Structure 1
Amino acid sequence: MAREQLNEYLEAVGAQIRWKRARRPLLRELSDHIADQAAAFEAEGQSPGEALAAAVAEMGEPEAVGRELDRLHRPRSCWRLALTVAVLLGVGLTLQLLACQVTGDSASDYYFRRQAVGLVLAVGVLVCLWFSDYTLLFRRRWVPTAAMAVLCLSFLLIPSTWLRDWWTLPVYYLLVYPVLLLPVPFAALLVTLRGKGPLAVLLCGIAALALPFTALLAPHLTAWLVSAGSMLVVLLTAVRLGWFRGKRRWNALAALGPALTAALGMGYQLARSDYAQMRMAAFWNPALDPFGYGWWYAHLRAGEVTYTSPDLLLAEVSQGLGRWVFWAAAAGIILLAALLLRRIFRLRSRTGKLTALAALCPLLFQAAIYWLYNLGWWPSGALSLPFLSYGVTFLLVDAALAGVLLSVFRMDALVRDAVAASARPVSLPEALNIPLGRGSLHIEYRKKA
């Protein structure tokens, strides 16, 4: 009889929860709490049936409890961010047409039609990921590892006929673009490693540098820097949030140790390379190489664009409208970054924070580097200005990252951080009161006899 009463109670509560995705885990949590409370009553001398009936009765009216759970656990679709992305896509098409008019590109119609088709595909990718369940990435420990392996080994999909010419565009795309997605499964890997020690942090720091290796095969140093830098930011954030066991300062050193070692090694190799020294000298002082790389840097810094390129959208538009375009772009990047970071660190779940940060960092780093490159103050190549510059494949990648970010915001009310095993005992309060409707849910923590 008591068991039937429990089932009826849970059904009544579940009927008030409108988000189907949230219904099962919430009812499971509620059932577990009732079972714990019934066990406490049974330890006081009540029969199992009486204890269960008393635990159900103590929960309060099922409709009120269900309505309160429904209020607290609804999908939070971030429509403002979705609208911002839509506006950026529209502005991107407009800027590309304007750039073609300024430079007189004869292929503007072809490029515009191709970008429009890519925009439709990107919107489809964004919407699919927006309304998907991003927690599938870390429900099984092997999933993030498998996802990273697929992204790292995507160049194996290249047909053998393409490999005859290493610099064909399909080969280049499969080597460079997938690495920008790596930070998301990397964050999922960190979720599965919660509670581990400094050794796990050290191995993750090494993996952050090694995983984007295909970008160096292209070679595209900027893509490697964006991917590896994003993963290191996520790893340091996990350390800051106390995701790993041990002192945070040692975990932070373990995370940064491989990167610092790699930086010293790269600096040593560059110092021994005459070409690298010449390139950096021309970057800092273009007058030293007026007919080579120095000519390129000098013209960009003067606001002069001599040929059209998808990597120079801001420079082309500013040549026609004025240098204020650069500062408007910088203000937009900073404002959007500040708002999104504020939204991310207000998420309830640390899991959500890490995943959202992993999706946001590649977008922000791409935008900042693109801005510097167009000003003539970035020594390597650029990627894309997210959602604005030309490039169908980059557009799809950036849309996927934005879709993951929207999915995290949408599911924040439902995601629970996994409990990590710890050698230290966890101190619990004597009681916890949770407001529910007109009353409250009172939970007492008692030691087992």
Structure 2
Amino acid sequence: MPETIQGYIEAVEEQIRWRRARSVVSLELRRHMEDQRDDFAAEGLEDAERLAVEEMGDPVSVGTELDRLHRPRPQWGLLGLAIALACVGAFLRVWLTRGDGADAVSPVMAALALTLGTAALLGAYFWDFTALVRHPRAVYAGALAAGVLSWLLPHVNNAAYYTRYIILLYPVVYALWLYSCRGSSWRHFVLALAGGIPLALICMLAPFSFGLFILLVCGLILLLCAVRMGWFGPGRWKFAGTALALAVGVPVLFFGMGYGASFIMRLRFAFHPELDPYGSGYWGWMTRMTLRDVPFIRRDEHASFGIASRGRAYGSWFGEKGYVEFSMDQDFVPLKLLAGWGWLAYLLLMAAIAALLVWLLIRCLRQKQQLGRLTALAVVMSLGLETLFSAALNLGFVMFSSHLPLIVGNLHTVLDLALIGLVLSVFRGGSILRDEPSADNGRSFFPWRIKILIVSTKEK
């Protein structure tokens, strides 16, 4: 039996097989034993440290029990579903764009994206999520720097191409920023709110209106969740007041900057594409014409109406020639699937993606560690919005150009898998994740008490 706290902790750590759990368990165990030692010393007992060690009992038995409690939680089902959808997406990108000339997706590039995406998924899954917990503001600063530097790279169609991919990470970055600004004073709340401004400016600089929309929607929900969890001080009225202020202030700011009017115009054109025959309305109208009389189950690809392999839309309603060129980018791969293989194939694909998102959301809401729950929620909301607007786009309601997660885009697939891997890392390490102290308690690294299960084997 060890006679010192350090020796006892080392003996317990030898029984814990998960390395990431050892530091958490040893910290909590040390605090518990030091409190017990101080209590014995306050009672005037000699050898208080030895008595605290003896009070704990056999270190091997305690370590074995703690090893049983603190184990990684495998996420094989979610991993398998994510990889399966990515494989389906790679196949569809190649198969449905074959013969499109320069727009065709290379099988080699699709396979490379799938390989890199799977590596990113597994890498993030086995990665230690607590690194983000320890350095949230460094991640925020790095994300801002990456957004600015990527804007200096070559642009495509007068837009920063790679900046758009970085912007899709900003909801997670903002969740980390909120976590770093916790505190009971209004200064902390104002700082948390102001942290979204540089992220929004980069979205406008890109420009990437859909990225800005995702950031605003996710950011507001994350901020309300943070207030509800008491990150900026307790109080139901503070939450209600914040919700009301945001509900009024954000639309005013949105419309004042001109984005509100643009959003309403997009909404009108989505439901009435004839109002914009030369812009987004054209694509909405073409899509709806393509979907006319699409069967529930696949039919002959040489039918008189549909989208052929070369990306042309056929139909007698196009005039004397019988067809016009219908050039589509990869965002319309789900439309090609629907028109070529019928509603059943499309609905099965969307159901699988929806099942993945709902599964992730349910697991997210069960997380006890607050930053882990908020980070997972940021990812699920981002992917959910992309899925929603991609479905609208491919059904003829053109609001934004959005990709379908894990299905559309090689680089998009790599990014989606990396984000899902980050969420699964949170789920995997849920038993050892701990919230760091807020800014108000910066003097002490662990100022709060953590209740843990200590199994003492000492005989009464």
Q: Is the 8 A contact 2:87 2:114 kept in 1?
A: no
Return the structure number with greater helix share: 1
Task: Report the Cα distance in structure 2 between the residues aligned to 1:331 and 1:109, rounded to whole angstroms.
Answer: 26
Cα distance per residue 1:167-224 (max 9 Å; x no partner)? 368x622221111112223222222222333443344334335413333233321121
In structure 2, which of residues 161, 175, 180 is the aligned counterpart of residue 192 of structure 1?
Answer: 180
In structure 2, which of residues 108, 127, 132 is the aligned counterpart of residue 132 of structure 1?
Answer: 127
Q: Is the 8 A contact 1:9 1:56 kept in 2?
A: yes
Task: Report the Cα distance in structure 1 between the residues aligned to 2:183 and 2:219, rounded to whole angstroms.
Answer: 19
Task: Report the Cα distance in structure 2 between the residues aligned to 1:378 and 1:256, rounded to whole angstroms.
Answer: 30
Amino acid at match of 1:342: I
Task: Report the Cα distance in structure 2 between the residues aligned to 1:133 and 1:433, rounded to whole angstroms.
Answer: 22
Task: Report the Cα distance in structure 2 between the residues aligned to 1:358 and 1:287, rounded to whole angstroms.
Answer: 36
- Structure 1 moving runs of 4+ over 6 Å: 275-278, 437-440
Change (3 A) 1:116 1:439: farther
User: Alignment length, in residue pairs?
Assistant: 420
| Residue 111 (structure 2) pairs with residue 116 (structure 1) | yes
Q: Report % sequence identity.
A: 31
| Residue 336 (structure 2) pairs with residue 349 (structure 1) | no
Matched with 2:286 is 299
Aligned-pair CA distance for 1:140: 3.9
Change (3 A) 1:175 1:54: same
Matched with 2:203 is 215
Task: Report the Cα distance in structure 1 between the residues aligned to 2:41 and 2:254, rounded to whole angstroms.
Answer: 67
Change (3 A) 1:272 1:37: closer
Aligned-pair CA distance for 1:245: 0.3
Q: Looking at both structures, which has the greater relative contact order when contacts are Cα pairs under 8 Å and sequence separation is at least 6?
A: 2
Task: Report the Cα distance in structure 1 between the residues aligned to 2:267 and 2:20, rounded to whole angstroms.
Answer: 54
323-332 or 187-196, which deviates more:
323-332
Task: Report the Cα distance in structure 2 between the residues aligned to 1:233 and 1:69, rounded to whole angstroms.
Answer: 36
Q: Can you give the 5+ residue segments of structure 2 that lack an aligned partner in the other structure?
A: 292-312, 314-325, 442-447
Task: Report the Cα distance in structure 1 between the residues aligned to 2:260 and 2:182, rounded to whole angstroms.
Answer: 41
Matched with 1:21 is 20
Amino acid at match of 1:226: I
Matched with 1:94 is 91
- The residue correspondences of 1:158-197 to structure 2 (distance < 5 A) are 158=153, 162=154, 166-167=155-156, 172-197=160-185
Change (3 A) 1:215 1:36: same
Q: Is the 8 A contact 1:126 1:400 kept in 2?
A: yes
Task: Report the Cα distance in structure 1 between the residues aligned to 2:118 and 2:395, rounded to whole angstroms.
Answer: 30
198-207 or 65-74, which deviates more:
198-207
Task: Report the Cα distance in structure 1 between the residues aligned to 2:263 and 2:50, rounded to whole angstroms.
Answer: 77
| Residue 133 (structure 2) pairs with residue 143 (structure 1) | no
SS of match in other structure, 1:320 = helix
Task: Report the Cα distance in structure 2 between the residues aligned to 1:94 and 1:409, rounded to whole angstroms.
Answer: 29
Q: Is the 8 A contact 2:137 2:176 kept in 1?
A: no
Q: CA RMSD in A?
A: 3.3
Task: Report the Cα distance in structure 2 between the residues aligned to 1:276 and 1:351, rounded to whole angstroms.
Answer: 32
Name the TM-score, length of structure 2 as normaliser: 0.81
Cα distance per residue 1:91-141 (max 9 Å; x no partner)? 10222233125xx42357652322221222222222222222222223146
Change (3 A) 1:253 1:202: farther
In structure 2, which of residues 217, 221, 241 is the aligned counterpart of residue 233 of structure 1?
Answer: 221
In structure 2, which of residues 384, 387, 410 is the aligned counterpart of residue 391 of structure 1?
Answer: 410
Aligned-pair CA distance for 1:316: 0.8
Task: Report the Cα distance in structure 2 between the residues aligned to 1:356 and 1:280, rounded to whole angstroms.
Answer: 29
Change (3 A) 1:439 1:311: farther
- The residue correspondences of 1:370-381 to structure 2 (distance < 5 A) are 370-381=390-401
Q: Can you give the 5+ residue segments of structure 1 that lack an aligned partner in the other structure?
A: 423-427, 443-449
SS of match in other structure, 1:212 = helix
Task: Report the Cα distance in structure 2 between the residues aligned to 1:363 and 1:276, rounded to whole angstroms.
Answer: 20
| Residue 48 (structure 2) pairs with residue 60 (structure 1) | no
Change (3 A) 1:291 1:345: closer
Change (3 A) 1:437 1:75: farther
Q: Is the 8 A contact 1:287 1:294 kept in 2?
A: yes
Q: Is the 8 A contact 1:235 1:255 kept in 2?
A: no
Aligned-pair CA distance for 1:156: 5.2
Name the TM-score, length of structure 1 as normaliser: 0.82
Matched with 1:447 is none
Change (3 A) 1:329 1:252: farther
